[in-house]
Amino acid sequence: MGLFDFLSNEGEKKPVQPAAKPAAAGGATDFFGNPAQPTQPAAAQGQSYTVVSGDSLSKIAKNHYGDASKWHQIYDANKATIGSNPDHIEVGQVLTLPTL
Instruction: Render pLDDT for 3-17 as a digit per residue (tens, 0 to 9).
Output: 666 566 555 556 666
Compute the average pLDDT of residues 26-34: 69
Phi, psi dihedrals of residue 50, rounded to the nearest 5°? -100, 125
The residue among 7 and 57 whose pLDDT is bigger is 57
User: 42: pLDDT confidence band, cut at 50, 70 and 90?
Assistant: very low
User: Whole-angstrom Cα distance, residue 36 to residue 27?
Assistant: 9
Q: Is residue 7 part of a domain?
A: no
Q: Is residue 18 part of a domain?
A: no
Q: Is residue 50 part of a domain?
A: yes
For the chain, the distance separating the N- and C-terminal CA atoms, rounded to the nearest angstrom, is: 59
- Residue 39, pLDDT > 50, answer yes
Compute the average pLDDT of residues 24-30: 62
Q: What is the pLDDT of residue 33?
A: 73
Q: Is residue 32 part of a domain?
A: no
| CATH number of the CATH domain containing 53 | 3.10.350.10
**Counting beta carbons within 10 angstroms of the beta carbon of residue 3, is it exposed (0 to 12), middle (13 to 18) or buried (19 or more)?**
exposed
- Residue 41, pLDDT > 90, answer no
Q: Is residue 11 part of a domain?
A: no
Q: State percent of the chain over pLDDT 90.
A: 51
Q: Is residue 48 part of a domain?
A: yes
Domain containing 72 equals 44-97
Q: Is residue 83 part of a domain?
A: yes
Q: Is residue 16 part of a domain?
A: no
Q: What's the whole-number average pLDDT of the chain?
A: 79
What's the pTM?
0.56
Q: How many distinct structural domains can be found in the chain?
A: 1
- Contact between residue 93 and residue 48 where contact means Cβ atoms under 8 Å apart: no
